[in-house]
Structure 1
Amino acid sequence: MPASTGSGAVTRSTLRQQIADALRDEVLAGRLKPGQEFTVKEIAEQYGVSATPVREALVDLSAQGLLDADQHRGFRVREYSVRDFRGMIEARSLVIDGMFHALADRRKGYLRPDDPLVAPALAGVRRRGEEAQRAACAGDLPVLIGYDLRFWRELSALFGNPYLADFLHRLRVQTWVCTVQHLCRPVELRGRLWSGHTELVDALTRHDTAAARAIVAAYDTHSLALVERLAAG
């Protein structure tokens, strides 16, 4: 029946996304280690589901750069180097700079204070930033990652280009995965994590792109220095 076929397709698509999200969280939490190998069958048995949505989820994560596919051995968690991290930082910097450049063009009307949708949206982004800052100051990396990803996803969405927002989100997931992978031993992170989220929102609210660029540049420098120190042990 067409109705049941459609329902099945939606269910499978939802399950595929749920599995992909769960595995992404495992990688971000460091529970799936860099280079760790697994098969579709192993993941399907772990989650108690059929192989098809698992295979689709793993292919999705491979396309996002989190897994490497091996035709004969299944999948493995991609290992990121400091050089990879530098490339990610450069790429996300270019994307963010493009957002700020668009903000400076008043004709595009981004983040206009007279837009009734902008103020509550920015307030939501700022709340996410406040939570991220609290987690950063406490050195709580898992909580920071969750709020930081939401912060940037919601902020980039305000610029009206879903392709840009999706691309930036993927880059940010990859940079966090790389950071987590270099935390190969217990490290005291309290006070060592970037916490300038609300300052960035305030600068953008003022349309002060110079200040926003300076904040992001300092963030990039801080992030790279942290990963380089972690990699050096």
Structure 2
Amino acid sequence: MADGGERGVIRRNTLRQQIADALRDEVLAGRLPSGHPFTVKEIAEQYGVSATPVREALLDLCAQGLLDVEQHRGFKVHAFTADDYRAMVEARALVVEGIFRSGAGREPRRLPTEMMVSIRRRAEEAERAARAGDLDVLIGYDLRFWRELGSVVGNAYISDFLDRMRVQTWMFAVPLLRRLGDLRGHLWHDHGELVTAVARHDLCAAQRLVTEYHEHSLTLVRKRC
């Protein structure tokens, strides 16, 4: 049984993650825009917690590339450029293409039925939000969809890299998309078709869909930057 000290560490680590998740959601929603500065004290007061888990959460977000440390001043939301965005999409595409190439000559990894059911549910929710132009709902389901779909790879390092790239690309894309107003018809919504291709082990169809997804992402920047 864990002693009091161990329980304290668990509670602090849980709080740290909760704060990091809440701040990441604020950044992704655009409520904490690029370049926005803040201090540990401000965040601690906002959430009614001590400085230690806040500082740890902010450093975690810095490690994920979402925040920058300002020496002797605090933190600020990282500002990604259009060139950063293009580079991230290109890196994401190269990794996914490598996955397809490496998987083409061997037996595909079969996922448990319950996992595929969960992935398909995420796909349906993400697709529904995308078709409705509901950006706030889409971001959460889209990230969870790709995170679970990444389990197909069976490589935690690749999955973590792709998840980070998607969070960062959403950070850049959200302000551009907000300017459009009505987003119906502007958001990629082929999540369900991609799940079907993966379930059938149709690598060609899956690769085509992911390529279209990346091209859609790059088109956004070409038109808006």
2:138 aligned residue: 144
Q: Is residue 8 from structure 1 mapped to residue 3 from structure 2 by the alignment?
A: no
Counterpart-to-counterpart distance in 2, 1:198 and 1:87: 27
Q: Is residue 165 from structure 1 mapped to residue 159 from structure 2 by the alignment?
A: yes
Q: Is residue 175 from structure 1 mapped to residue 174 from structure 2 by the alignment?
A: no
Counterpart-to-counterpart distance in 2, 1:122 and 1:94: 25
Question: What displacement does 1:9 show?
Answer: 0.6
1:88 aligned residue: 88
Tell whether the 8 Å contact from 2:177 to 2:183 is kept in structure 1 after alignment: no
Counterpart-to-counterpart distance in 2, 1:119 and 1:8: 38
Q: Is residue 41 from structure 1 mapped to residue 41 from structure 2 by the alignment?
A: yes
Question: What displacement does 1:44 show?
Answer: 0.6
**Relative to 1, partners in 2 of residues 1:151 and 1:184: Cα closer, same or farther, differing over 3 Å?**
closer
**Superimposed CA distance per residue, residues 57-97 of structure 1 (whole angstroms, 9 cap, x where no aligned partner):** 00110110101111122110111111111011011112222
Residue type of the partner of 1:86?
Answer: R
SS of equivalent residue, structure 1 residue 68: strand
Residue type of the partner of 1:30?
Answer: G
Instruction: Map 1:1-233 onto structure 2 (within 5 A).
Output: 3-107=3-107, 109-111=108-110, 117-183=111-177, 185=179, 187-231=181-225
SS of equivalent residue, structure 2 residue 3: helix
**Superimposed CA distance per residue, residues 137-194 of structure 1 (whole angstroms, 9 cap, x where no aligned partner):** 1000011111111111111113221222111111111111111133463522111100
Counterpart-to-counterpart distance in 1, 2:224 and 2:113: 39
Moved more, 150-159 or 21-30: 150-159
| Count of residue pairs the alignment pairs up | 224
Tell whether the 8 Å contact from 1:67 to 1:78 is kept in structure 2 after alignment: yes
1:114 aligned residue: none
Question: What displacement does 1:25 show?
Answer: 0.2
Counterpart-to-counterpart distance in 2, 1:11 and 1:105: 46
Counterpart-to-counterpart distance in 2, 1:186 and 1:209: 34
Computed over aligned residues only, the root mean square deviation of the Cα atoms, in angstroms, reads: 1.6
Counterpart-to-counterpart distance in 1, 2:175 and 2:78: 10
Moved more, 84-93 or 221-230: 221-230
Tell whether the 8 Å contact from 1:104 to 1:207 is kept in structure 2 after alignment: no
**Relative to 1, partners in 2 of residues 1:101 and 1:118: Cα closer, same or farther, differing over 3 Å?**
farther
Q: Which runs of 5+ in 1 are unaligned?
A: 112-116
SS of equivalent residue, structure 1 residue 182: helix
Counterpart-to-counterpart distance in 2, 1:104 and 1:56: 42
Counterpart-to-counterpart distance in 1, 2:89 and 2:47: 34
TM-score, normalised to structure 1's length?
0.91
Percentage of pairs with the same residue? 59
Counterpart-to-counterpart distance in 2, 1:186 and 1:17: 33
Q: Which runs of 5+ in 2 are unaligned?
A: none
